């Protein structure tokens, strides 16, 4: 695999240490490489630089990775995540190790791990919207008004349920360690193309959710007295009116992440991050 030579660093603009680390990495590895730096909020204006890049490094938490991944996915650019957040399930390198470890990745030694995305299309009285991609999840939830909503959920043309509560989250395998996990949902193999439907604070909240095969189509129809919120990956927002429909599919779109360790190490990393007691670890 060739060395990465045209590299962008997307860092959390709210963390001074993230910007300092970004500049230190670029300075330390400047020979033979072209670098550009951007905060996550400045990223939408970097189209020309993204078009010439062969690697994106993100420095921050999962929110920074998600913003970088959205820009990288459509251009088939791999992502290396450096964690400065609390959990960092998508990150690869801890910030304190970055200066010592990043060269190994720049030299092309890492494997590529595909993380699959889902696509949401909104049907309104005026027609359908452009597709909205999600690496983590698509959430349909009540807004500021403390009033329950109903979300009719249809899978492949079959009525699964009408959830009455705070809403529904549809999560990718990557997103199964995010909001869905906080709701009591299962953790999925992160490389799976399957995805998950989980109600939010409904009378079925103890229902672990439905894991759907990658070829499935989910339709969510809102029934509410007030407008409700559609949120994608924690930073893309849209208002939905009663009767509007969100159609969610998995069409093969993905983000590539650089990884050093084998795929199975995810489960050990999960246990560490969630502080799950593992006992002696004897598997005999």
Residues serving a catalytic function are 62
Nearest residue to 124 via CA among 253, 18, 245: 245
Contact 36, 59 (CB under 8 A): no
Q: What is the CA radius of gyration of the chain?
A: 20
Residue 85 to residue 76: CA distance in whole angstroms: 25
Task: Provide the token pair at 55.
Answer: 């690697």
**Helices assigned H by DSSP within 88-228:** 98-106, 179-182
Residue 100 to residue 168: CA distance in whole angstroms: 42
Looking at the DSSP bridge assignments, the partners of residue 171 are 137, 196
DSSP letter for 143, please: -
Instruction: List b or e across 119-134, with b for residues whose CB sees 16 or more CB atoms inside 10 angstroms.
Output: bbebeeeeeeeeebbb
Looking at the DSSP bridge assignments, the partners of residue 122 are 246
Residue 45 to residue 272: CA distance in whole angstroms: 37
Nearest residue to 256 via CA among 127, 60, 65: 65
Contact 210, 196 (CB under 8 A): yes
Helix (H) / strand (E) element for 265: namely: helix 265-274
Length of the chain: 284
Contact 173, 115 (CB under 8 A): yes
């Amino acid at each position: 695999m060739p060395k990465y030579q045209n590299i962008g660093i997307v860092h959390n603009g709210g963390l001074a240490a993230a910007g300092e680390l970004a500049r230190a990495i670029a300075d330390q590895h400047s020979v033979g490489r072209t670098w550009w730096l951007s905060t996550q909020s400045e990223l939408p204006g970097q189209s020309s630089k993204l078009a010439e890049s062969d690697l994106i490094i993100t420095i921050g938490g999962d929110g920074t990775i998600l913003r970088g991944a959205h820009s990288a996915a459509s251009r088939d650019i791999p992502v290396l995540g450096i964690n400065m957040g609390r959990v960092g399930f998508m990150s690869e390198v801890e910030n304190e190790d970055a200066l010592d470890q990043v060269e190994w990745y720049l030299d092309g030694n890492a494997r590529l791990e595909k993380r699959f995305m889902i696509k949401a299309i909104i049907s309104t009285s005026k027609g359908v919207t452009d597709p909205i991609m999600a690496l983590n999840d698509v959430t349909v939830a009540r807004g500021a008004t403390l009033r329950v909503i109903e979300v009719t959920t249809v899978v492949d043309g079959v009525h699964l349920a009408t959830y009455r509560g705070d809403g529904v989250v549809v999560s990718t395998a990557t997103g199964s360690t995010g909001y869905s996990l906080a709701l009591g949902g299962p953790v999925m193999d992160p490389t799976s193309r399957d995805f998950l439907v989980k109600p939010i604070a409904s009378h079925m909240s103890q229902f672990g959710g439905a894991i759907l095969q990658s070829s499935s189509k989910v339709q969510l129809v809102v029934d509410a007295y007030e407008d409700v919120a559609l949120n994608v990956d924690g930073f893309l927002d849209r208002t939905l009116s009663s009767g509007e429909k969100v159609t969610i599919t998995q069409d093969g779109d993905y983000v590539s992440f650089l990884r050093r360790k084998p795929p199975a190490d995810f489960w050990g990393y999960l246990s560490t991050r969630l502080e799950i007691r593992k006992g002696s670890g004897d598997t005999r």
